[in-house]
Amino acid sequence: MNDQTPQKDALIVFTPSGKRGRFPVGTPVLQAARALGVDIDSVCGGRAICGRCQVTPSFGEFAKHGIASEAAHLNERTGVEDRCDTKRGLAADRRLSCQTQILGDLVIDVPAESQVHKQVVRKRADTRDIELNPITKLYYIEVDEPDMHHPSSDLERVYKALEDQWEVTGVTCDLAIMVELQHILRQGDWKITVAIHSRLASGAKRITAMWPGFHDQAFGLAIDVGSTTIAAHLCNLSTGAVAASAGLMNPQIRFGEDLMSRVSYVMMNPGGDKEMTEAVRGAINTLAGQVAAEARIDISHILEVVLVGNPVMHHLLLGIDPTELGGAPFALATGLPVTRPAREFELTLNNGAYVYVLPCIAGHVGADCAAVVLSESPHLSDDIMLVVDVGTNAEIVLGSKDRLLACSSPTGPAFEGAQISCGQRAAPGAIERVRIDPETLEPRYKVIGSDLWSDDPQFEDAVAQTGVTGICGSGIIEVIAEMYLAGIINQDGQVDGALSARNPRIRAAGRTFEYLIRDGEPLISITQNDVRAIQLAKAALYAGVRLLMDHLQIDKVDTIRLAGAFGSHIDVKYAMILGLIPDCDLARVQSAGNAAGTGARIALLNGKGREEIEDVVRKIEKIETAVEEKFQQHFVEAMAIPHKTAAFPELEKEVVLPPVKVVEAAEGEGGERRKRRRKA
């Protein structure tokens, strides 16, 4: 019949893209979409197996299920689609675009989940959504059987199928996968699914995994390797969804609590770097097993890993001795992005899985900071954005889409509760919130694990299990700011011993005074040394920021993002009272949450994200605070509390600092710094 009637065209319009075109009657919708460049997903290549290419016909006269209609603009729902409905679900208003033929003019809606480049919505309203554009994609192919009349190898016929069925060319195959090829081809009766990684350094495409028959499971791991904790997110590479998350203490802690003590361990113990590399890789394998179990997937479905971490973690992950990072000139072995087989990292995932390590920005500004940049996008900002990630060092990025600078500042671990007399890590029992009545000088506080303030009658019962064990980073910031607001310390940070007459909580401790928060077991107080430690840390942070502001020739930032655990927990108001961060509209100072983990997730889900951050890192101007004379000057000036604070004009006073000589204070040990300062 068709042969005799003149061939007719029909108009098809795809929403939401608005792309449109005329096609001969009988053209499959998927084919029309491809021709128009409409983004519709498919793993099976139009064989009604994967169910990914679902569309919603939204206009036109449709054939009712089971009733053929001369007037229909679409063919009726097929038995193949019914089977797909049974196996994978296909709503009544949905069709498989590969099975649906254009019979008349049509509007076809492509739902978000049917698009390859769908958006993964991020929870924070102020950030970009993640565009899904995975580097590893699955392709179902039907491979020709060997034909002795036209001899060719199995691998060549796989390549041919990829070219014929997917227009994918220039593919190579991992040796580890090649070894399995013949078995898998025969097991799948010449129907297989291959995973292709399309972004090696060389631009080559590589088959990295292979399964008999149709396979629909592709996962990736985004891992933030912190000095203290390692956090992993297992993501579905097809949907972008986080399938499971888990965290572990970094087992390197047994070699040293903080980064510099781990570097020292290597210096003292030849081969110590190998031990730590093994430890961290082992932990990643453990985490991978945990998240795979939680998501009920086989570990072999994990095809990609993205790793971020500070420079020392970065080097140890790569198996590089971090000794050079322990002293000037702080030379990275490499800061370039790395794309290598996961087995070279001794990771036991899919045999062909690949690792991507984000670039480091500089000797003390690591791949974790690059991930924070990717997440917070200062390089796309019209305004001046300050991004601060506080750990043992503060990693600082400042600028806008025009120009971006980065440096690190040696804050030391005081913000993490270390080197504070009653300091501890953020854990149940740690004081995290403090208020001091300016009249009575009496404190109230909250501890992690309870919602009650300490003046609540139920408080002691509520904390009976954990006790009140110490004070964590955010608690220290608050208590020192409150001590200042209550007049217990002055701008120079000195505890006013005269106040002991008003409240015995201010009491002598050696030749200085301390402020008693809680009398008990343990006794929790803030000593003069604790105040000094925080002053030094905040001065270092502020000086780093100030230095970058000098380079940018600005005296005000528009937006501030505080990344990391510290950034998530502190009350930004107190950070600004203490002068950790420069003046900024308080409404535009935000916690960026686990921005490094988010950045790792972006790099996992979006190949363009990798290109973006590599490009940005190349362009970022790296400033080394150790060689900038102005850093010392800013550091000294920033010791006082508060520095001029436009956000809190009522606190603004003229600060006259006593002459202080802090020789190399920024590089020295906290204790050393304190001694020198006391002598000066």
Which residues form the interface with a second copy (CB under 8 A)? 145-156, 172-173, 175-176, 178-179, 181-183, 200-204, 318-321, 323-324, 328-336, 338, 340, 344, 360, 362-363, 622, 624, 626-627
Question: Residue 190 or residue 415: which is nearer to a second copy going by CB?
Answer: 190
CA dist 551 and 557 (Å) reads: 13
**Nearest-approach distance from CB 149 to a second copy, in angstroms:** 6
Question: Residue 67 or residue 175: which is nearer to a second copy going by CB?
Answer: 175
**Nearest-approach distance from CB 145 to a second copy, in angstroms:** 8
Question: Residue 584 or residue 620: which is nearer to a second copy going by CB?
Answer: 620
Question: Residue 178 or residue 267: which is nearer to a second copy going by CB?
Answer: 178
Structural element, H or E, at residue 409: strand 404-409
Q: Which residue has the tokens 């108001």?
A: 573
Length of the chain: 680
Question: Residue 201 or residue 663: which is nearer to a second copy going by CB?
Answer: 201
**Nearest-approach distance from CB 147 to a second copy, in angstroms:** 7
Structural element, H or E, at residue 575: helix 572-578
**Nearest-approach distance from CB 118 to a second copy, in angstroms:** 30
**Nearest-approach distance from CB 182 to a second copy, in angstroms:** 5
Q: How big is the CA angle at 522 (ends 520 and 525), to the nearest 5 degrees? A: 85
Contact 417, 426 (CB under 8 A): yes
**Nearest-approach distance from CB 530 to a second copy, in angstroms:** 32
**Nearest-approach distance from CB 202 to a second copy, in angstroms:** 3
**Nearest-approach distance from CB 141 to a second copy, in angstroms:** 16
Question: Residue 154 or residue 482: which is nearer to a second copy going by CB?
Answer: 154
Residues paired with residue 195 on neighbouring β-strands, in sequence order: 138, 209
Retrieve residue 294's tokens: 């939680």
Retrieve residue 417's tokens: 């509760």
Retrieve residue 99's tokens: 């099975």
Nearest to 155 by CA among 120, 123, 180, 121: 180
**Nearest-approach distance from CB 324 to a second copy, in angstroms:** 5
Other C-beta atoms closer than 10 Å to the C-beta of 92 total 8
**Nearest-approach distance from CB 292 to a second copy, in angstroms:** 25
Question: Residue 183 or residue 254: which is nearer to a second copy going by CB?
Answer: 183
Question: Residue 71 or residue 627: which is nearer to a second copy going by CB?
Answer: 627
**What is the DSSP pairing of strand 559-563 with strand 589-593?**
parallel
Question: Residue 371 or residue 524: which is nearer to a second copy going by CB?
Answer: 371
Strand order, beta sheet including 354-357: 242-249, 229-236, 219-225, 302-309, 354-357, 338-341
Residues paired with residue 22 on neighbouring β-strands, in sequence order: 11
CA dist 503 and 440 (Å) reads: 7
Retrieve residue 39's tokens: 């983004």
Q: Is 400 helix (H, G, I), strand (E, B) or coil?
A: coil
Contact 575, 546 (CB under 8 A): no
What does DSSP assign to residue 102? B
The answer to whether the Cα torsion of 459, 465, 466, 469 is positive or negative is: positive
Question: Residue 360 or residue 640: which is nearer to a second copy going by CB?
Answer: 360
